[in-house]
Structure 1
Amino acid sequence: MTTGVRLFKIDSSNQKADAVSEIDFAEVGFRERRDIQEWIADNPGILGEDLLVIAKEFSGFDKTDERADLVAIDKDGRVVVIELKRDDTGSDVHWQAIKYASYFQNVAPDSIARMLSDYREISEAEAVAELKFYLDVDDLDLVNHDQRIILASHRFAPEVTSAVIWLNQKIVAETKIVAETLITCVQLTPYRDSETDAYFIQSSTILPIVGTDEFTIRLGSGRSTPDRTVSGGPVKKEDDITRLLRGAALAALDGLPAELTPDKKSRWAGVGDGHRYFHVWFTDSPWSNWGMSFQFMLFPGPTASDTEIITCFKCEKDLLMNAAGLTKEDVGGIKTIIEGLSLFPDQEIKEDNKWLELKVTSRGNPEDPDFKSSMTDDLRTLIGAITPKIRDLVDDMNQQ
């Protein structure tokens, strides 16, 4: 039974295209662990993405002897459980992989580093350095913040694909983010060239199914719409907006003294009502990503040059009082602090029943270096001016 994938060998000397025969792995003696697993461990790009393999045949779970074929980290820092089947998945490979992924839900980043250390036979310090380099981060807070699954096989049983489609749709419906795919199915189709006895693998991601919007031309008015919309549907986490806002935030932090540098940051740009946002904050209470933080907010305009960036210090008052234990008087003290600051000619102080914020709004093209620099400067100014005063206020509160 063929999969519908076709491979042809081109003979340019006589302008011929000869079909290369699809085969089964079993037909020529290729095995799941001895062969397919080793190929992917050596070159995980076979699965269609940049992965860092951290374990093979991993069985270090405390209450079961089960073994995960391969374990990797993706560029978002998620643990990826990779389950391999040779020519047919059977009807329950997805359940097997879900179990393994669940076993990793509470594994700490330092344990992930130890797994890589054991697998690569390098020191833990070298493993930590390799993870930081791969993820392009300064710490390992991002590591194993979530888990996902890749299933790879020549053919997939309908019991598997039906379950995968349903689970992925539930995840996307809940998060509104396309990148939140729990399970990816990669079809590995083997071929043999009978003339040269050479073997080939065609790798195709069959689930999730790529949307058709980017391939479709529609009738349009040819006019820009002034509505502020980030996209017509779910958005990816690790996209250009995340990279823009994260980059500007990190540049701002680089210019601050160590004692004034927030030690927490968003993993990606969140999705708000018509905008995207990115936070930085401190570990210490009463700071938190929503309770009290510094934030970029990006509102797309009709053109790139009309992009609106709000740089702000923002507090959710109820969260500060209910979760951080501040009183109304304490929140009033924060308001007094920001009212006493004159940082920007066009700064605004906004307060309603929920929020208290000091913000400055700018418009321009985020790809313009001068505009990017002004974003960075605005955030650095806010952090440098507000942080010492909030710390003084907290010290006074603690002494009472």
Structure 2
Amino acid sequence: MSFFSDTRERPDLIAVDKAGNVVVIELKRDDSGSNLEWQAIKYASYLSKFSKDEVLTYFAKYRNNTNEEDTSLENEIADFIEEGSIEDLNKRQRIILVSHRFAKEVTSAVYWLIDNYKLDIKCVQVTPYHDAEHGNYYLQSTTILPVAGVENLLIGAAERTTASLAGPVKKDDVITSVCEQLFNKLGARLDFSLMPTKRSRWAGLGGSSFRYFHLWYSGDYWDNWNMSYKVWLFPEPESGVIKSVKLSFSFNEKALLINGINELKIEKVSEILQKYLEENGYKAYKKTSFSGIEIRFKYDMDNLLDRLSKLITHTKPDIQAILEQ
């Protein structure tokens, strides 16, 4: 059955969700290839031109091909939709990409589309398992993009950027200067090989309560939010004087999985952090797919330097060794 005029292309699966959106689902049995997202975007663009009646017509053709008893499709879909009405059918389109492995060209493009254009697109990784004892096969599915928790961080980042440009927080203010001093002094405390190669360019605005300054390294696994050492500074609202600081290391499990780090390695990283936590009075941190350790204390530059340099010295080499195995 041909779906589109002027082309013989056709999507793998088309669905309708509870909001009446048409969903394009592209399936790859092994590797995603490098342009899976482009295929799906084309199909979604074609389907965006379909009227409600055209969607119902193609659904009817599918039902006839499967020899199911014909019923009132419009009433059936109207009963299925929970948000809006049948008149809203295909007002929006969604994309789901399904594969055993995703090429970095695909995940990079999808991440960019989500971040910059808020496109409703998902990457779902499926892993087959064989139960030899019972002769059964299973599929485990994991949504690897959008990464759980990152959606809020991305939206928050946009809001914080706007606030920093329009409000009283400037890129060269006193707290950013404190962060610069911290980074410069850290170089005297750490071996050259342990010195972070990347950092926040200024003290970001974390809502109305704190400012953040992150440190990380070049490479596939390290990232501003997804795996970094984090310094969050809590100033007094009126005076701007820093009263306390939260120091942490955290990582995003799903982001590591995207980059080819298996669950065993992630577990070993967690064990390193657990040991450091027990020996140094930190607390465990867990939120959605983010895990890590954190400690909050009264602000003092020397104390912060001591704690940060110790945290990096005792965790970074072992974590890096595990990730590179």
TM range (shorter): 0.3 to 0.5
Larger radius of gyration: 1
Scaled by the length of structure 2, the TM-score of the pair is: 0.46
Higher helix share: 2
